[in-house]
Amino acid sequence: MELSSSTSQSRTSAGGPTAALVAAFVEVALPVPIRRVFTYRVPEGLVGKLSQGSRVAVSFHRRKLPGFVVGSRADMPEGVKRALPVAGLLEAEPVFTPELLRFLEQAAKYYMHPLGEVLRAAAPALPTGAMRRLRDDGFLEAEEHLPGQRVAHRTTWKITATGKDSSDVRLGARQREVMERFASRQSLFLDELRCTHANPRAVIRALAAKGLVELEEVEANPDPFFRAPVPRDEPPTPTGEQRFAIDAICQALERHGSDAFLLHGVTGSGKTEVYLRAIDEVRKGGRGAMLLVPEIALTPQLVGRFRARFGDEIAVLHSGLTGRQRDDAWQALRRGHVRVAIGARSALFAPVVDLGMIVVDEEHDPSFKQDDGFRYHARDMALLRAQYAQAVCVLGSATPSMETYHRATEGKIRLLSLPTRATGQRLPEVEIVDLRRHRHGPTGHPLLSGPLHHGLEQCLESGFQAILFLNRRGFSPSVRCVSCGAVAECPACSVALTEHRRQSALRCHYCDFQRAVAVPCVACGGLKYDRLGIGTEQLEQAIKESFSKAKVARLDRDTATGAGVEEVLDRLRDGEVDVMVGTQMVTKGHDIARVTLVGVVLADQSLGFPDFRASERTFQLLAQVAGRAGRADTPGKVILQTYQPDHPAVRLAAQHDYESFYAAEIQARREVGYPPFTRLVSARIHAGAEADARRAAQALATTARRHDTVRDGIVEVLGPAPAPLARLRGRYHYRLLLKSSDRKALRFLAAQLAAQIDEGLAPARASLDIDPL
């Protein structure tokens, strides 16, 4: 995305407190898939009470909806004979400040998405009182959930002291499985066990009778980031490289401009300390700041560092908050009681007062891109919001995206480098193991080579810890019928079912379809299956069998979510785990002092994806996971197992050489004409019948190819073609891709397709994805 300092004309005024509107009519953006606003009359009782950004209730096509006031007018639009009155004001204070509203209007324009849906995505849930008023007035169904409601307490099952030392207790297989879950979580809700065990209540009662678990009443949905006090820290003395970066950012803060920086630092270089120092300067100046992270549940250690520096004067915004907690955090930020917001991509919309800085940590991470609905990229929108707020924006990464580093090389953003680790420790030694030559080691497992096995032996014998990375959860990624060779597939998605052995089930990771393993093959009725490939569950089992004395734990979406992630990581930090097996959850910025070995089981796993970014993402993933080793005084080692040892993404990640990888990859992108040298717009089409999806996709393609910009070769049209996941949740998906180096021409053509989509492609549905990933 290309950003300029100039902004377009807007309905809102710049800066300052939100003034009440005195006009006879207001323009309201509604959460409907229509790219326009609607005019409503201001009734006598609301004159002088509505402002831009106010959330109001209105009638719309025999429905009653909440909407947002975005402008006013003295008379009705031409051709409109009658305007309905605004039914009510839902909150006394406007939800959006003028600055935030202007930013969101521009974001809606850039992503060609209806403004009302953008505002709904950005706004917090309505407070309980307002929700009740909507329900009582017929705006919501009586049974509709009230986001602000919560149960005061909830019952959980907690492992006892006896249960923690239950190795000698005689247990059945199912009881032992449940106790293994408690070993990684300490406490569990019964409904969590229902996800992986049939009839867990009987198992729990049997364990309780043996004194291994007990009931405990806990507060429902406590915020895991503020459960325990954190002692204030003593800021370390910055290195020379850190001091240079801090000074450059602070000088930009003094200018009150919208400067943008790329903080490119190797893993362990102390980027977080730069963030902390710079944000402290923002706070001292009476302004606010926000820190965006890829996944808040995976960064509790980072939140802990912010609490240690700033106390509880921060708001952590995440999906685990109750409606009341989220509303309290929003109000504290809006009123300036708290001036630092931390969260994932949606925290970008937080109403931080007098915003002075936005930090986007791990800016390269694809999770900053929203994949459905309002498909914005939080990194690009952070740059845009910083412009509107006259704030500094800092993008941080050890492995920047190609687009961001290209901007830095062209001088569009300033590059700040941290090329060495803050502790002075060397980056870990990396050994590449060629799986074509190195057969399985002593375990006999085809993906546990001799070098990796010996590395684990040495690590454990020395009393250190190891992380093994494999980006596939489950036991086996797929199973194949021995009789006919058919692979078990999801009936609703065009993907293979993954075996989850602990559940004795085959599961779809897209729609959550599940069936028992012992079900006849749908093609021939056969009952025997071969396992194809390896997942984290199988890897965990292999390590336990090979290193029987080692304490092994697994970190993936099957074993931990939300607060459970921190519990597993705490066990690793406290030395209760010797080997951590996990998916990319183990790569996300964790700093574990005694981890000296990182093993990547299949380093080239993502290189086969049909995506021009596959090489870039592989390099980033390998470099990030390698950075988990040797973070303290003891040197670390990384073992990369691969079938493609000479691939640049693997070879240069092993050398910790981002610049050489960037030089090779940017040249390849230039030659084939992909971003950052061109822009992309994707049309996503889906329907219940494959023929309907194909027909709608062809209709859009026909419109595009008839356009002058395509005939003149300015815009290239690729497709339509079935999407990489051609069938998903029972619907057939097609893609049409527009590509051009001429941004204006590309957007003009995209607008034509948006108009055709608005007119309707029934029974198919379609949407545009600007700058798709």
Residue 485: phi and psi, rounded to 5, are 85, 5
Q: Does residue 196 register a pLDDT over 70?
A: no
Mean pLDDT of 584-589: 76
Residue 50: phi and psi, rounded to 5, are -100, 145
Rounded Cα–Cα distance for residues 341 and 351 (Å): 9
Mean pLDDT of 624-652: 89
Flag whether 142 is in a domain. Answer: no
HSE on the CB side for 732, CA within 13 Å? 16
634 and 752 part of one domain: no
Residue with the larger pLDDT of the pair 676 and 208: 676
Rounded Cα–Cα distance for residues 79 and 61 (Å): 18
Q: Sign of torsion, CA 260 120 54 341?
A: negative
pLDDT at 127: 67
Percent with pLDDT over 70 in the chain: 89
Q: How far is CA 484 from CA 333, 464, 477, 492, 505, in A?
A: 61, 47, 19, 22, 21
Q: Does residue 630 register a pLDDT over 90?
A: no
pLDDT at 451: 94
Mean pLDDT of 70-77: 89
332 and 435 part of one domain: no
Flag whether 13 is in a domain. Answer: no
Number of domains in the chain: 6
Mean pLDDT of 707-714: 91
pLDDT at 37: 94
Q: Which of 220, 254, 276 is the last residue of a domain?
A: 220
CA 27 and chain centroid, separation:
33
User: Apex CA 112: angle with CA 110 and CA 113, to 5°?
Assistant: 115
Picking from 617, 550, 552, the residue whose alpha carbon sits closest to that of residue 587 is: 617
* Least confident interval from 205-219, 324-338, 425-439, 758-772: 205-219
pLDDT at 593: 79
**Do the beta carbons of residue 629 and residue 597 sit within 8 Å?**
yes
Residue with the larger pLDDT of the pair 378 and 558: 378
645 and 539 part of one domain: yes
pLDDT at 503: 84
Rounded Cα–Cα distance for residues 139 and 149 (Å): 18
Q: What is the residue-averaged pLDDT of the chain?
A: 87
Using one digit for the tens of pLDDT, what is the confidence trace for 490-506? 999 999 999 999 888 99
pLDDT at 222: 56
Q: Which of 187, 203, 220 is the last residue of a domain?
A: 220
Flag whether 14 is in a domain. Answer: no
362 and 456 part of one domain: no
Mean pLDDT of 534-554: 92
628 and 491 part of one domain: no
Q: How far is CA 340 from CA 263, 287, 317, in A?
A: 20, 9, 11
Mean pLDDT of 445-454: 88
Residue with the larger pLDDT of the pair 438 and 147: 438
10 Å Cβ neighbour count for 448? 23
Q: How far is CA 580 from CA 377, 433, 457, 536, 556, in A?
A: 32, 20, 14, 10, 10
Going by pLDDT thresholds of 50, 70 and 90, the confidence category of residue 14 is very low
Going by pLDDT thresholds of 50, 70 and 90, the confidence category of residue 20 is confident
Residue 488: phi and psi, rounded to 5, are -65, 125
Using one digit for the tens of pLDDT, what is the confidence trace for 41-72? 999 999 989 999 999 999 998 888 999 999 99
Q: Does residue 154 register a pLDDT over 90?
A: no
Going by pLDDT thresholds of 50, 70 and 90, the confidence category of residue 610 is confident
Flag whether 18 is in a domain. Answer: no
Q: Which of 668, 701, 721 is the last residue of a domain?
A: 668
Using one digit for the tens of pLDDT, what is the confidence trace for 413-425? 999 999 998 888 8
Going by pLDDT thresholds of 50, 70 and 90, the confidence category of residue 80 is confident
351 and 318 part of one domain: yes
Q: Does residue 10 register a pLDDT over 80?
A: no
Rounded Cα–Cα distance for residues 263 and 274 (Å): 9
528 and 544 part of one domain: no
**Do the beta carbons of residue 31 and residue 67 sit within 8 Å?**
yes
Q: Does residue 660 register a pLDDT over 70?
A: yes
E strand map for 426-539: 429-434, 465-469, 478-481, 498-500, 505-507, 514-516, 529-532
* Least confident interval from 104-108, 698-702, 758-762: 758-762
Which range scores top for mean pLDDT: 253-257, 320-324, 391-395?
A: 391-395
Mean pLDDT of 558-586: 80
pLDDT at 557: 83
First-to-last alpha carbon distance for the chain, in angstroms, is 12
HSE on the CB side for 177, CA within 13 Å? 16
User: Which two three-digit tokens encode residue 506?
Assistant: 């085959």
Going by pLDDT thresholds of 50, 70 and 90, the confidence category of residue 3 is very low
**What single-letter amino acid sits at 497?**
L
Q: Does residue 759 register a pLDDT over 80?
A: yes
Q: Does residue 146 register a pLDDT over 50?
A: no
pLDDT at 2: 47
Core vs surface per residue 539-573: b (16+ CB within 10 A) or e: bbbbbeebbeebbbbbbbebbbeebbbbbbbebbb
Give the SS3 label for residue 672. Answer: helix
306 and 379 part of one domain: yes
Flag whether 38 is in a domain. Answer: yes
Q: Does residue 141 register a pLDDT over 60?
A: no
Flag whether 230 is in a domain. Answer: yes
CB proximity list for 586: less than 8 A, separation 6 or greater: 467, 469, 555, 580, 625, 628
Going by pLDDT thresholds of 50, 70 and 90, the confidence category of residue 647 is very high
Residue with the larger pLDDT of the pair 92 and 4: 92
55-60 vs 63-73, strand pairing mode: antiparallel
Q: Looking at residue 119, which CATH number applies to its domain?
A: 3.40.1440.60
314 and 407 part of one domain: yes
Rounded Cα–Cα distance for residues 617 and 633 (Å): 29
Rounded Cα–Cα distance for residues 190 and 194 (Å): 6
68 and 193 part of one domain: no
pLDDT at 421: 86
330 and 375 part of one domain: yes
Q: Looking at residue 554, which CATH number applies to its domain?
A: 3.40.50.300
- Which DSSP string corresponds to 355-402? EEEEEEETTT-GGGB--SSS--BHHHHHHHHHHHHT-EEEEEESS--H
**What single-letter amino acid sits at 377?**
H
Q: Looking at residue 169, which CATH number applies to its domain?
A: 1.10.10
E strand map for 300-354: 315-317, 340-343
Residues of the chain by 3-state class (helix, strand, coil), percent to 5: 35, 25, 40
714, exposed or middle or buried, with CB in 10 Å at 0-12, 13-18, 19+? middle
664 and 688 part of one domain: no
Going by pLDDT thresholds of 50, 70 and 90, the confidence category of residue 181 is confident
Picking from 413, 338, 340, 404, the residue whose alpha carbon sits closest to that of residue 377 is: 404
10 Å Cβ neighbour count for 426? 12
135, exposed or middle or buried, with CB in 10 Å at 0-12, 13-18, 19+? middle
Mean pLDDT of 148-169: 67
Residue 367: phi and psi, rounded to 5, are -70, -10
Q: Does residue 151 register a pLDDT over 50?
A: no
Core vs surface per residue 141-161: b (16+ CB within 10 A) or e: eeeeebbbeeeeeeebbebbe
Flag whether 56 is in a domain. Answer: yes
10 Å Cβ neighbour count for 442? 11
Full domain range(s) for residue 691: 679-770
Using one digit for the tens of pLDDT, what is the confidence trace for 233-242? 788 999 999 9
Flag whether 674 is in a domain. Answer: no
Q: Does residue 444 register a pLDDT over 80?
A: no
Q: Does residue 200 register a pLDDT over 80?
A: no
Going by pLDDT thresholds of 50, 70 and 90, the confidence category of residue 223 is low
Going by pLDDT thresholds of 50, 70 and 90, the confidence category of residue 609 is confident
Q: Looking at residue 717, which CATH number applies to its domain?
A: 3.30.70.600
Give the SS3 label for residue 638. Answer: strand
Using one digit for the tens of pLDDT, what is the confidence trace for 300-355? 778 888 988 988 789 998 776 777 778 888 888 988 889 999 999 999 999 999 99
Rounded Cα–Cα distance for residues 649 and 608 (Å): 12
Going by pLDDT thresholds of 50, 70 and 90, the confidence category of residue 446 is confident
